[in-house]
Amino acid sequence: MSHYEVTTKMHTIKMVNVIGLILLLFSSLVVPGTATVYSASGTSILSDQLSVYLDDDSSLLTGNLPPKEVIFFTNSRCEACHEADEFLNKISGSHPEINIRIYDLFNNTANRTIFLSYKQLYHLDYLSTPSVMIGNLTLEGNRDIQNHLEEILTRQQEKIHSGGLEFILPSFSLSDKDEIPLSLIIGAGILDGINPCAFAVLIIMLINLMALKSRRAILVTGLIYTSAVFVFYFLSGLGIFSVIQTTGSAILFSIIAGSIALIAGLLMIKDALIPTDHPVLAIPESQAGRINKIINVATLPAAFLLGIMVGMFELPCTGGIYLSIISMISLHVDLFHSLVYLLVYNIAFIIPLLVILILVLFGLPPERVNEWRIEQRRALRGVIGIVLILFAVYILFGVLGRL
């Protein structure tokens, strides 16, 4: 290894370590002080200051919901939600006057639509389960539900006896802000698909298949490879999305996804500005030999296995875009539309691979495509890096603005 390569790797390691340290310090400063109590205007209230706010502003006790009305958003696959549910069962015994409406968001499109409506009513872009809405307040998380709900109910009772509570009947309508433009999903999918990882393997495989001089063999093998990449990527996204929905950890995941996108974007730009033979975000060298062996087999099962392997290695390569999209989907749309968006994203993701396959079938030498890939890979990495940073800024500022 040359002195230049050693120096570049040392700089890269230092950059990763510095970014990791910054994120660690950032999380230690931000997470413990996370505000999980919100007023109806969407303003965060420090949990330990809620009593002071209630003393100063009794309008927090009512407004969007009438007195004695409690809205509980839960997820049947969320452990914290079960604990909150048990607490609500106990508190309903000591406060028989309250009416608790429960909405389970797991696999329930209707309840998720109601959830979006209440988030809009309370001016909340981001909210996880378990969460409770009462009066003009939102309590997010099992801890704050247990710490503050009974106090709020008691203060409501006191105000009812003094005749000082009024409420405004809420009116629901979903606005465009709860939707994600389909063009953004398609564009992100195509950009994610235009990456050196999948391109390189497909092109090398096509070059080997050209020796067979059979367009049918090239088409079938290429389609099987592309289908395997699609299946793995789609199922991976579906699995990640299911975990988010099951645990109710959309905000935490968004912070993680935004941080990964930021680090990946910086590394992509570094590789674009300071090119090396071994980019940081690429298929591991340790797996290159195994992939080449599978390519040389040139069978249909080998093509499918190759697609799965490339899908596995692509997630670290350009998965920051995918994670960012999953984060946005989990925060803004219901279950049905989430599945549609994931499907559309992954169809868009394989479009560049299909285009290359079609061009080769119609006579474009795969060597020419490979030359173009090598010539443009710095530009591609730079563009992907910039997009990753933009996604990171959008997600992190959006989420941390609620903390």
Which pLDDT belongs to residue 30? Answer: 37
| pTM score | 0.59
In a domain, 71, yes or no: yes
Per-residue pLDDT tens over the stretch 135-182:
888 999 888 898 888 888 888 777 766 655 444 444 444 343 446 788
Residue 347 binned pLDDT confidence (cut-offs 50, 70, 90):
very high
Please tell me whether residues 200 and 330 are part of one structural domain. Answer: yes
Which pLDDT belongs to residue 1? Answer: 52
More confident residue, 303 or 139: 139
Per-residue pLDDT tens over the stretch 356-372:
888 888 877 877 877 87
Average pLDDT over the chain reads: 75
Rounded to 5°, the CA angle 98-104-106 comes to: 170
Which pLDDT belongs to residue 197? Answer: 63
Fill in the amino acid letter for 351: I
Q: Which of 206, 198, 223 is closest to 364 using CA atoms?
A: 206
Last residue of a domain, one of 162, 189, 206: 162
Please tell me whether residues 72 and 197 are part of one structural domain. Answer: no
Please tell me whether residues 352 and 240 are part of one structural domain. Answer: yes
CA–CA gap between residue 330 and residue 250 (Å, rounded): 6
More confident residue, 251 or 82: 82
In a domain, 23, yes or no: no
% the chain with pLDDT above 90: 4
CATH code at 135? 3.40.30.10
The residue-averaged pLDDT of 65-81 equals 83
Q: Write out the residue range of the structural domain in which residue 48 sits.
A: 34-162
Which of 115-124, 147-156, 166-175, 232-241 is the least confident region? 166-175
Please tell me whether residues 152 and 227 are part of one structural domain. Answer: no
Please tell me whether residues 87 and 234 are part of one structural domain. Answer: no
- Whether 392 has a pLDDT exceeding 80, the answer reads yes
Please tell me whether residues 214 and 343 are part of one structural domain. Answer: yes
CB neighbour class for 298 (10 Å; exposed up to 12, middle 13-18, buried from 19) = middle
Cα 159 to the chain's mean position, in Å? 42
> Would you report the helix, strand and coil content of the chain in percent, each value rounded to 5?
70, 5, 20
Per-residue pLDDT tens over the stretch 321-342:
888 888 888 776 666 778 889 9
- Whether 402 has a pLDDT exceeding 90, the answer reads no
The residue-averaged pLDDT of 110-126 equals 81
Cα Rg for the chain, rounded, in angstroms?
Answer: 26
Which pLDDT belongs to residue 348? Answer: 92
Which pLDDT belongs to residue 7? Answer: 47
More confident residue, 284 or 173: 284
The residue-averaged pLDDT of 88-99 equals 84
In a domain, 24, yes or no: no
Count: domains in the chain: 2
The residue-averaged pLDDT of 46-74 equals 77
Residue 358: CA count within 13 A, CB half-sphere: 6
In a domain, 304, yes or no: yes
Last residue of a domain, one of 98, 131, 162: 162
Helices vs. strands in the chain: H and E counts, helices first: 13, 6
Which pLDDT belongs to residue 344? Answer: 93
Q: b/e for 63-81, b at 16 or more Cβ within 10 A?
A: bbbbbbbbbbbbbebbebb
- Whether 29 has a pLDDT exceeding 60, the answer reads no
Which of 259-263, 300-304, 346-350 is the least confident region? 300-304
Rounded to 5°, the CA angle 88-94-100 comes to: 40
More confident residue, 186 or 373: 186
Which pLDDT belongs to residue 31? Answer: 38
Which pLDDT belongs to residue 213? Answer: 57
Which pLDDT belongs to residue 212? Answer: 57
Tokens 């591991």 sit on residue: 284
In a domain, 3, yes or no: no
Please tell me whether residues 217 and 352 are part of one structural domain. Answer: yes
- Whether 12 has a pLDDT exceeding 50, the answer reads no
